[in-house]
Amino acid sequence: MSRHLLRRMAFWILLAGFISGSLIWMLKVPVRRERLWRTVPANSTWVIVQHDLAGNWGRMSDNPLVRALVGGMGFETDVLDLTSKNPAFQDGLHRLASDTLLLFCFPSSSRKPDTVTWAAVTWIGGQSQHLRWMLKGTSFSEFHRTGDYQGRGIWV
């Protein structure tokens, strides 16, 4: 075999390996739900674990306890009726909350000591790379990166 042919074969083998590795990195993310708990601060007041929020949203949005909780957070309860009928919201909820979701509340570290911070964490698997690219682009211009927590990006 000629040296030129060996170099071409090595190039194509390396290119195929790079492409397949990139596809595996984008699509195959092992499920590690226990890592969700690493994002919850130790001083959290309470934590709610919700499985398949997207599938249960219709029933939950009609629940009086959920309506009282949403009203206590300062939102109008009419928002729940609008979200249960909005296909774009349903699609986004299915992408982000079709698995396990943690909702937690903890004291804010801001200058106002009486305020609390609400946060939600979910496992989205292989969609994480796609969502990260969308957040960095212009698809979600209302979100911006505020920092990192234990190696994970925080978007607000």
Beta-carbon contacts of 141 under 8 Å, excluding residues fewer than 6 positions away, are: none
Of 64, 154, 56, 43, the C-alpha closest to 109 is: 43
pLDDT at 139: 60
Judged by DSSP in three states, 141 sits in coil
Q: What are the tokens at 69? A: 């909780």
What percent of the chain clears pLDDT 90, i.e. is strictly above it? 9
Do 116 and 104 form a contact (C-beta atoms < 8 A)? no
Distance CA 140, CA 21 (A): 27
Tens digits of residue pLDDT in 6-59 = 999 999 999 999 999 988 877 777 778 888 888 888 888 889 898 888 888 888
Question: Which residues fall within 8 angstroms of residue 103, CB to CB, at 6 or more apart?
Answer: 47, 48, 50, 118, 119, 120
> pLDDT per residue over 119-141, tens digit each?
888 887 767 777 777 777 666 65
